[in-house]
Chain A
């Protein structure tokens, strides 16, 4: 019994690691999918890229910043752009009474709602006039609202952000985790307000950190992207032979690439699993050969009382498959347990797909058939007289 368990260790470890890795891996790719949909589709992000001056590559952000004028040029000058918003991020301490919470403050335009597909569950978002005028108003992410107000209603309250009073206009709908970050741990303020109060020295008085664009789904996003690129190159006076000093990123596409990387990882995982199952299978073959030798007399007896070679073959194949299945099930349980623990401890999303469970069970059974065959055939080919005489 103990010996059998030890023998199936290879299978147990093989199956368990497959389950753990795939649980974590597919958790990650599921997360990526969720992220894609939470980021909003048809969205382009534009930020200043490295300036290529006289063949020398400048650092990130060394290029001239984007401004409100660029934003307007893109929004009004490119067909297919549905909405656009600047984005200027900083960190700030938000205080109300004794409660205090350090969070990310995003200065955004009023169109951000549309661009990022955010929605407000309580109160309202700031409008275009408030966004432009530098009004001291804020919309809280779900986490911030909970931390500062608990079950209370934040709408209408006044919080202090970096010591300046801001009126809370509303609370954002919950978005959840993305890339290990809590997307709801955020406060949104008008970008003009952020510019004057919350972020430090700026390169331009109407600077925006990055430009977020929502493309009308009826237009081809690649063509719209090319148009935006043309408009910005013109505005930034980039010669035909020069590289862009800004970057346009299609985020969904970027995540898609990461998803493919995850799939490659999955392939690697499959290879690892195959190797450990083969190692496990060799263990099974070994113990089955030992078992056939130990039970030679039993085999002889069974043959004497009428078992055909095929019956003996079937019996030992069944035993090998059962052994592997038991190992597979133990591995499955172990793997699920470890995945669950990893998910708990590292707060990593976990997802065990029923497909991988079926694959694991089928794989362990096949290992039993493949590696049980040689010992089973040896048993089936024994001569009954010699087997009965075996000591």
Chain B
């Protein structure tokens, strides 16, 4: 009963949930033709969860990520991010919500070329409405780069970094403003399997320290690192269950040290 994946969502947003989705639909109108990208999707994601979303191409995964990332608003249904109802927010408030609450990680990294790792990581702080954070930009960015193991690469520009390193810079950027939620749409899509493992281990460590991570992936190996799996098909959630990893964790009250894991 502590397993959030098992409990069917109530019609009211769950208090304390990082994400609470109720009957979300998203319909794109292409001329006469309506594309139902999402149909009646409901779920909750609690703090510290590590969720993988899988599904065939065109099933609505990215559409869902855009909604829970406050980049887009649903056609109908209710979505709360950290208790704030997204539909009641205007564009600027959505931007501020993204800045404070959400860290994005993209398949193509989306780092600014000709800009040092440090300044790339600092970027979200320049849009912070908190002057104290802006003032501490260098310090916070350097700290996050240390955390992802790139303390010695701060002055490197993206072209001087490997794909995995670039993605770690992007993760540091997503973390720099201490968000509640990391959203990653195919973060390992452009990386080889070894580097993917590195990135997934980084995400796992983040969730162990309380960060919430939701990622989209096509690779079962990658999804296996998460603890909960949402499977989407034709705009609906067709499966919501703990992964093998998740079941294991649920049965063991204290997490095992990482060194004892294999895989």
Contact residues on B (Cβ < 8 Å of other chain), bracket: 20 to 34
Q: Mark B69-89, 1 if CB is under 8 A from A, else 0.
A: 101100000000000000000
B-contact bits for A301-345, CB 8 A (1 contact / 0 none): 111111111110000000000000000000000000000000000
Is A384 close to B, CB under 8 A?
yes
Interface presence of B96 (CB below 8 A): yes
Query: B104 and A305: CB pair below 8 A?
Result: yes
Whether B173 lies near A385 (C-beta < 8 A) is no
- Please tell me if B128 contacts chain A, counting CB pairs below 8 Å: yes
Taking CB atoms and an 8 Å cut-off, the chain A residues in 365-391 that contact chain B are 384-385, 388
Report the separation of the CA atoms of residues A165 and B104 in the bound assembly, to the nearest whole angstrom.
100
Across the interface, B110 reaches (CB within 8 A) one of A308, A385, A388, namely A388
Majority DSSP secondary structure for residues of B touching A: helix
B91: chain A residues within 8 A (beta carbon)? 308-309
Q: Determine the distance from Cα of A297 to Cα of B108 in the docked complex, in whole angstroms.
A: 10
Q: Is the CB of B127 within 8 A of A385?
A: no
Most chain A beta-carbon neighbours within 10 Å: one of B95, B96, B112: B95
Given known A298-B112, A385-B66, A388-B110, contact A305–B124 (CB-CB < 8 A): yes
- A interface, by DSSP: helix, strand, loop or mixed? helix
B103 neighbours in A (Cβ, 8 Å): 305
**A309-B110 in contact (CB<8A):** no
**A305→B112 contact, CB < 8 A:** no
Contact in complex: A309, B98 (CB < 8 Å): no
Residues in B with CB closer than 8 Å to A309 are 91-92, 95
Asked if A384 and B99 make an inter-chain contact with CB atoms under 8 angstroms apart, the answer reads: no
Q: How far is the CA of A138 from the CA of B106 in the complex (A)?
A: 94
A297 nearest CB neighbor, chain B only = B110
- Given known A-B contacts A297-B110, A385-B71, A305 and B96 have beta carbons under 8 A apart: no
Q: Is the CB of B106 within 8 A of A388?
A: yes
Given A297-B110, A388-B106, A306:B92 Cβ within 8 A: no
CB B201 to nearest CB in A, in angstroms, measures 24
In the complex, are the beta carbons of A305 and B92 less than 8 A apart?
Answer: no
Known: A297-B110, A298-B112, A388-B110. Is A306-B71 also a contact (CB below 8 A)? no
A311 touches B66 (CB 8 A): no
Decide: A308 near B71, CB < 8 A? Known: A297-B110, A301-B110, A302-B127.
no
Question: Which of B96, B103, B127, B128 has the most CB atoms of chain A within a 10 A radius of its CB?
Answer: B127
Decide yes or no: A306 and B110 within 8 Å by CB, A311-B127, A385-B71, A385-B72 being known contacts: no
Output the residue of A300, A303, A306, A384 with the most chain B CB within 10 A. A306
Counting CB contacts under 8 A, is B154 at the interface? Answer: no
- Give the Cβ gap from B44 to chain A, nearest Cβ, in Å: 23
Shortest CB distance A387–B (Å): 10
For B112, list chain A residues within 8 Å (CB).
298, 301
Return the CB mask of A289-301 against B: 1 if under 8 Å, else 0: 0000000011011
B157: chain A residues within 8 A (beta carbon)? none
Q: Could you say which of A297, A306, A388 contacts B127, with CB atoms under 8 Å apart?
A: A306
Q: Which residues of B contact A302 (CB under 8 A)?
A: 123, 127
Cross-chain contact of B123 among A297, A305, A308, A388 (Cβ < 8 A): A305
Kindly provide the distance from the CB of A148 to the nearest chain B CB, expressed in whole angstroms: 69
Residues on the A chain within 8 Å of B92, using CB? 308-310
Whether B236 is near chain A, meaning CB under 8 Å from some CB there, is no
What is the minimal beta-carbon distance from B14 to any residue of chain A, in angstroms?
A: 26
C-alpha spacing A302/B106, complex, angstroms: 13
A301's nearest neighbour on chain B, judged by CB, is: B110
- The proximity string for B residues 154-175 relative to A, scoring 1 for CB distances below 8 Å and 0 otherwise, is 0000000000000000000100
Contact in complex: B71, A305 (CB < 8 Å): no
Whether a CB of chain A sits under 8 angstroms from the CB of B100 is: yes
Write the nearest CB–CB distance from A301 to chain B, whole angstroms.
Answer: 5
A304 and B69 within 8 A (CB): yes
Residues of B within 8 A of A297 (CB): 110
Residues of A within 8 A of B173 (CB): 305
Interface centre among A297, A305, A309, A311 (most CB of B within 10 A): A305
In the complex, chain B residues whose CB is within 8 Å of the CB of A301: 106, 110, 112
Beta-carbon contact of B128 and A306 below 8 Å: yes
CB distance from A304 to the nearest CB of B (A): 5
- Measured between beta carbons, the chain A residues less than 8 angstroms from B128 are 306
Contacts of A305 in B (CB 8 A): 98-99, 103-104, 123-124, 127, 173
Residues of chain A within 8 A of B124, CB atoms compared: 305-306
The smallest beta-carbon distance between B212 and chain A, in angstroms, is 17
Within the assembled complex, what's the spacing in Å between the Cα atoms of A310 and B91?
11
Are B104 and A304 touching (Cβ within 8 A)?
yes
Q: A309-B91, A385-B66 are in contact. Are A304 and B72 (CB under 8 A)?
A: no
B95 close to A303 (CB less than 8 A): yes
Question: Interface on A for B, CB 8 Å cutoff?
Answer: 297-298, 300-311, 384-385, 388
Which residues does B use to contact A, with CB under 8 Å? 66, 69, 71-72, 91-92, 95-96, 98-100, 103-104, 106, 110, 112, 123-124, 127-128, 173, 177
A-B contact pairs, 21 of them (CB 8 A): A298-B110, A298-B112, A300-B110, A301-B112, A303-B71, A304-B69, A304-B104, A305-B98, A305-B99, A305-B104, A306-B96, A306-B127, A307-B95, A308-B91, A308-B92, A308-B96, A308-B127, A309-B92, A311-B127, A384-B71, A385-B66
